[in-house]
Amino acid sequence: MRIFKTTWFDRFAAKEAISDDELRSVVNELETGQPDANLGGGVFKMRLARPGAGKSGGYRVVVFFRAGERTFFVYGFAKSDRGNISRRQLAEFKNAAKIAFSYTDAQLDERVKLKRYLEIEGVSHETVS
Protein backbone atom coordinates (compact mmCIF):
# COMPACT_ATOMS: atom_id res chain seq x y z
CA MET A 1 0.00 0.00 0.00
CA ARG A 2 1.36 3.37 -1.01
CA ILE A 3 0.06 6.42 0.85
CA PHE A 4 0.28 9.96 -0.47
CA LYS A 5 -0.85 13.41 0.56
CA THR A 6 -1.11 16.48 -1.60
CA THR A 7 0.99 19.48 -0.70
CA TRP A 8 -2.23 21.34 0.19
CA PHE A 9 -3.26 18.53 2.52
CA ASP A 10 0.23 18.42 4.04
CA ARG A 11 -0.05 22.12 4.97
CA PHE A 12 -3.54 21.55 6.41
CA ALA A 13 -2.33 18.55 8.46
CA ALA A 14 0.69 20.48 9.77
CA LYS A 15 -1.45 23.47 10.76
CA GLU A 16 -3.92 21.22 12.58
CA ALA A 17 -1.21 18.97 14.12
CA ILE A 18 -2.47 15.84 12.31
CA SER A 19 0.35 13.31 12.28
CA ASP A 20 1.27 10.74 9.65
CA ASP A 21 0.49 8.08 12.29
CA GLU A 22 -3.09 9.36 12.45
CA LEU A 23 -3.28 9.19 8.66
CA ARG A 24 -1.97 5.62 8.73
CA SER A 25 -4.77 4.82 11.20
CA VAL A 26 -7.30 6.15 8.69
CA VAL A 27 -5.83 3.85 6.05
CA ASN A 28 -6.06 0.92 8.48
CA GLU A 29 -9.73 1.72 9.07
CA LEU A 30 -10.35 1.78 5.32
CA GLU A 31 -8.39 -1.45 4.79
CA THR A 32 -10.48 -3.22 7.43
CA GLY A 33 -13.74 -2.07 5.84
CA GLN A 34 -14.59 0.67 8.33
CA PRO A 35 -15.18 3.78 6.19
CA ASP A 36 -17.14 6.66 7.69
CA ALA A 37 -18.65 7.57 4.30
CA ASN A 38 -18.12 5.95 0.90
CA LEU A 39 -18.85 8.75 -1.57
CA GLY A 40 -18.32 6.53 -4.64
CA GLY A 41 -15.59 6.34 -7.25
CA GLY A 42 -12.94 5.51 -4.68
CA VAL A 43 -13.64 8.72 -2.74
CA PHE A 44 -14.18 8.44 1.02
CA LYS A 45 -14.83 10.93 3.78
CA MET A 46 -13.25 9.99 7.09
CA ARG A 47 -13.42 11.55 10.54
CA LEU A 48 -10.36 12.43 12.62
CA ALA A 49 -10.47 13.47 16.26
CA ARG A 50 -9.14 16.82 17.37
CA PRO A 51 -6.41 16.55 20.00
CA GLY A 52 -8.13 16.07 23.36
CA ALA A 53 -11.58 15.71 21.77
CA GLY A 54 -13.66 13.15 19.92
CA LYS A 55 -14.25 12.57 16.23
CA SER A 56 -17.73 14.13 16.10
CA GLY A 57 -16.45 17.70 16.39
CA GLY A 58 -13.07 17.01 14.84
CA TYR A 59 -11.84 16.99 11.27
CA ARG A 60 -13.17 15.53 8.05
CA VAL A 61 -10.71 14.33 5.46
CA VAL A 62 -11.36 13.37 1.85
CA VAL A 63 -9.39 10.34 0.81
CA PHE A 64 -9.00 8.53 -2.50
CA PHE A 65 -8.64 4.88 -1.58
CA ARG A 66 -8.15 1.65 -3.47
CA ALA A 67 -7.73 -1.37 -1.18
CA GLY A 68 -4.26 -2.89 -1.14
CA GLU A 69 -2.96 -0.37 -3.66
CA ARG A 70 -3.01 3.37 -3.01
CA THR A 71 -4.40 6.04 -0.75
CA PHE A 72 -4.35 9.78 -1.43
CA PHE A 73 -5.18 12.36 1.26
CA VAL A 74 -6.43 15.35 -0.71
CA TYR A 75 -8.64 17.59 1.40
CA GLY A 76 -9.50 18.30 5.00
CA PHE A 77 -11.59 20.65 7.07
CA ALA A 78 -12.68 21.19 10.64
CA LYS A 79 -16.28 20.13 11.22
CA SER A 80 -16.81 23.46 13.00
CA ASP A 81 -15.75 25.35 9.84
CA ARG A 82 -18.12 23.71 7.37
CA GLY A 83 -20.85 21.12 7.29
CA ASN A 84 -19.94 19.15 4.21
CA ILE A 85 -18.51 19.23 0.70
CA SER A 86 -20.66 20.43 -2.19
CA ARG A 87 -21.94 18.28 -5.04
CA ARG A 88 -19.61 20.14 -7.37
CA GLN A 89 -16.62 19.37 -5.14
CA LEU A 90 -17.65 15.72 -4.97
CA ALA A 91 -17.76 15.52 -8.77
CA GLU A 92 -14.31 17.14 -8.91
CA PHE A 93 -12.97 14.70 -6.31
CA LYS A 94 -14.33 11.72 -8.24
CA ASN A 95 -12.67 12.95 -11.42
CA ALA A 96 -9.40 13.60 -9.60
CA ALA A 97 -9.52 10.12 -8.01
CA LYS A 98 -9.95 8.53 -11.44
CA ILE A 99 -6.84 10.37 -12.62
CA ALA A 100 -4.83 9.57 -9.48
CA PHE A 101 -5.63 5.85 -9.73
CA SER A 102 -4.56 5.83 -13.40
CA TYR A 103 -0.96 6.86 -12.61
CA THR A 104 1.70 4.23 -12.97
CA ASP A 105 4.24 3.78 -10.17
CA ALA A 106 6.80 5.63 -12.31
CA GLN A 107 4.40 8.55 -12.79
CA LEU A 108 3.73 8.67 -9.06
CA ASP A 109 7.46 8.59 -8.33
CA GLU A 110 7.90 11.55 -10.68
CA ARG A 111 5.09 13.47 -8.96
CA VAL A 112 6.72 12.79 -5.59
CA LYS A 113 10.05 13.99 -6.97
CA LEU A 114 8.33 17.19 -8.18
CA LYS A 115 6.66 17.52 -4.73
CA ARG A 116 3.12 17.37 -6.13
CA TYR A 117 2.57 14.50 -3.71
CA LEU A 118 4.36 13.62 -0.51
CA GLU A 119 4.62 9.92 0.23
CA ILE A 120 3.88 8.67 3.72
CA GLU A 121 5.91 5.63 4.62
CA GLY A 122 4.00 2.33 4.89
CA VAL A 123 0.94 1.41 6.81
CA SER A 124 1.07 -0.69 9.92
CA HIS A 125 -1.16 -3.72 9.78
CA GLU A 126 -2.52 -3.41 13.31
CA THR A 127 -6.22 -3.75 13.71
CA VAL A 128 -7.93 -0.51 14.62
CA SER A 129 -10.63 -0.81 17.27
To the question of pTM greater than 0.85 for the whole model, the response is yes
111 HSE (CA, 13 A, CB side): 17
Say yes or no to pLDDT of 85 above 90: no
First to last CA, the chain: 20
pLDDT single digits (tens) 16-70:
999 999 999 999 999 999 899 999 999 999 999 877 666 666 899 999 999 999 9
Cα dihedral value 124, 31, 24, 102, nearest 10:
110
What pLDDT is recorded for position 50? 78
What pLDDT is recorded for position 82? 73
CA–CA separation, 58 and 56 (whole Å): 6
Least Cα distance to 57 among 69, 70, 47, 66 occurs for 47
User: Is the Cβ–Cβ distance between 31 and 123 less than 8 Å?
Assistant: yes
In the chain, what are the domain boundaries? 2-119
